């Protein structure tokens, strides 16, 4: 039986140096502790297969349970499992993907980006930066061997507000990180839908793009509002949460069951009790939950609302498994290179609004408050216009200058400084950050490819620039990304 002291030691084991600091008391309930304080190394890889997958990106008129009977013009990568398609491979496997672009209009520049995967640059799926787009009716190919286990996802990298809005995403699971089999493994794709009486509502609005984004009208998990998910009663079940929404930042909690965070953005951490965890668009969170007794229920909730919103119900199913006191099994240790903080190159990165963005936000605020609104500004469609401007875009354009030119092999310490009144999930391609410190207090030491930066926060993240190429760096609130909060870095 570990005491509170055991707990701090447990955290000490994963903290990196002094930079990580202590941890908030909220993360460490007294009197509870689990045995795993360090992660075992990954066992020798199985895998070695080639897994061939065809993704046929195509529209279909249909409905999802969350739409309550309304039909809408959905897009999907897979007619057989429209939302979400799930690809599962083992670590060591090579994924060979054929993408057929059967989207008739609006997605002429289709590419598929493998979010969070540290892959070779020419497989990263960014139009013009890393590949020529797949033309309508054309076919594209991706081939890579994921180096990391965990929960990932994929999406297009152009016209992404619309393509995510219509459901064109998929989940990629790389297996092989478990040290003990769990009693279930469930993918939960968190995405709301902008659905009105006649189908989808506009996916992007000036007011949304200039502020926190344009939110869905119905909340949903796997296309279902408040799904009831049967879980092995009494067992330790793994939930793979992926926030594939373009906008929403839920504050995830579990009510009615013990739960632990075991991985963030695919990368294992020693199990930490889940109190609540804010998940920006693009982020993933792997949990182990002690499933309720047969017939009993637990709830996945979003606390980021005056009244917690129930996202899903976990219903204990089958015969009661006897698993003893909750002591969640850890995953294996990530193989992501540890940044060399002592030798890091420090780079401040300002996250800010443009003058027109601030103006649009003010207009939206005035409209909401019933104040005077300038019709001229409202008619400008500032954000759509910007959407067409910045790179990547139509035609063969000249690249903007990179945000930074990084030396291959060096550690970089980015200080993300949020000068806006909104939270931004900042995402890097081809690399994974170590979250180092925050001006707002202690951080849970972990790796991530997408990090939330709160208003006024200065968040430090470090990574080894070990992957040569041109890599996007952008906000994953897609309306922000498509109205300018996007750039790229070179590693050479």
Question: Which of ligand C2O, Cu ion, none has residue 431 at its interface (CB below 5 to 8 Å by kind)?
Answer: none
Which listed residue (186, 211, 429, 480) binds Cu ion by CB under 5 A? 480
Tell me how far, at minimum, the Cβ of 483 lies from ligand C2O, in Å. Answer: 15
Tell me how far, at minimum, the Cβ of 474 lies from ligand C2O, in Å. Answer: 6
Cβ atoms within 10 A of the Cβ of 143, count? 15
Residue closer to ligand C2O (CB basis): 242 or 252: 242
Residue closer to Cu ion (CB basis): 418 or 432: 418
Residue closer to ligand C2O (CB basis): 155 or 278: 155
Residue closer to ligand C2O (CB basis): 34 or 77: 77
Residue closer to ligand C2O (CB basis): 258 or 482: 482
Question: Which of ligand C2O, Cu ion, none has residue 475 at its interface (CB below 5 to 8 Å by kind)?
Answer: Cu ion
Which listed residue (157, 186, 278, 424) binds Cu ion by CB under 5 A? 424
Q: Does 477 bind Cu ion (CB under 5 A)?
A: yes
**Range in contact with Cu ion (rule: CB under 5 A) among 90-98, 277-285, 439-447, 476-484:** 476-484
Tell me how far, at minimum, the Cβ of 126 lies from ligand C2O, in Å. Answer: 7
Question: Which of Cu ion, ligand C2O, none has residue 357 at its interface (CB below 5 to 8 Å by kind)?
Answer: none
Tell me how far, at minimum, the Cβ of 183 lies from ligand C2O, in Å. Answer: 31
Which listed residue (242, 360, 475, 478) binds Cu ion by CB under 5 A? 475
Tell me how far, at minimum, the Cβ of 424 lies from Cu ion, in Å. Answer: 3
Residue closer to ligand C2O (CB basis): 290 or 480: 480
Tell me how far, at minimum, the Cβ of 486 lies from ligand C2O, in Å. Answer: 8
Footprint on this chain of ligand C2O (rule: CB under 6 A): 113, 115, 155, 157, 282, 427, 429, 472, 474, 476
Tell me how far, at minimum, the Cβ of 244 lies from Cu ion, in Å. Answer: 16
Residue closer to ligand C2O (CB basis): 240 or 429: 429
Residues that bind Cu ion (CB under 5 A): 424, 475, 477, 480
């Amino acid at each position: 039986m570990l005491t509170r002291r055991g707990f701090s030691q447990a955290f000490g084991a994963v903290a990196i140096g002094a930079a990580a600091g202590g941890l908030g008391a909220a993360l460490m309930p007294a009197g509870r502790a689990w045995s795993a304080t360090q992660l075992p190394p990954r066992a020798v890889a199985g895998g070695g297969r080639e897994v061939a997958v065809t993704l046929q990106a195509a529209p279909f008129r249909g409905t999802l349970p969350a739409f309550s009977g309304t039909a809408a013009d959905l897009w999907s990568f897979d007619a057989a499992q429209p939302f979400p398609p799930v690809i599962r491979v083992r670590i060591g496997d090579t994924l060979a993907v054929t993408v057929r672009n059967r989207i008739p209009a609006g997605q002429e520049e289709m590419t598929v980006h493998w979010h969070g995967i540290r892959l070779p640059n020419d497989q990263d799926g960014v139009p013009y930066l890393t590949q020529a787009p797949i033309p309508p009716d054309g076919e594209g190919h991706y081939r890579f061997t994921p180096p990391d286990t965990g929960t990932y996802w994929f999406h297009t990298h152009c016209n992404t507000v619309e393509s995510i809005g219509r459901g064109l995403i998929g989940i990629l699971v790389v297996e092989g990180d478990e040290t003990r089999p769990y009693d279930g493994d469930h993918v939960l794709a968190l995405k709301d839908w902008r659905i009105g009486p006649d189908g989808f509502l506009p996916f992007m609005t000036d007011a949304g793009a200039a502020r926190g984004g344009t939110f869905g009208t119905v909340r949903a998990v796997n296309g279902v509002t408040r799904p009831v998910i049967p879980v092995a009663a009494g067992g330790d079940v793994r939930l793979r949460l992926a926030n594939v929404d373009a906008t929403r930042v839920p504050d995830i909690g579990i009510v009615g069951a013990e739960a632990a965070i075991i991985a963030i953005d695919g990368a294992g951490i020693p199990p930490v009790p889940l109190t609540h965890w804010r998940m920006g668009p693009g982020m993933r969170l792997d949990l182990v939950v002690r499933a309720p007794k047969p017939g009993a229920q637990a709830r996945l909730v979003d606390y980021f609302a005056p009244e917690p919103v129930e996202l899903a119900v976990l219903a204990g199913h089958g015969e009661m498994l006897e698993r003893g006191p909750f002591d969640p099994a850890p995953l294996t240790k990530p193989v992501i290179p540890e940044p060399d903080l002592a030798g890091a190159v420090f780079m401040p990165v300002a996250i800010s609004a443009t003058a027109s963005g601030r103006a649009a936000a003010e207009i939206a605020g005035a409209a909401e408050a019933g104040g005077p609104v300038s019709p001229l500004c409202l008619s400008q469609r500032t954000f759509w216009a910007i959407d067409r401007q910045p790179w990547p875009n139509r035609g063969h354009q000249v690249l903007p200058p990179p945000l930074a030119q990084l030396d291959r092999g060096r550690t970089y310490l980015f200080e993300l400084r949020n000068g806006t009144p909104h939270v931004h999930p900042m995402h890097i391609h081809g690399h994974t950050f170590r979250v180092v410190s925050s001006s707002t207090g202690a951080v849970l030491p972990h790796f991530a490819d997408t990090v939330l930066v709160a208003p006024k926060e200065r968040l430090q993240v470090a990574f080894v620039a070990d992957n040569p190429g041109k890599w996007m760096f952008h906000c994953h609130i897609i309306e922000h990304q498509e109205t300018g909060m996007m750039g790229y870095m070179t590693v050479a």
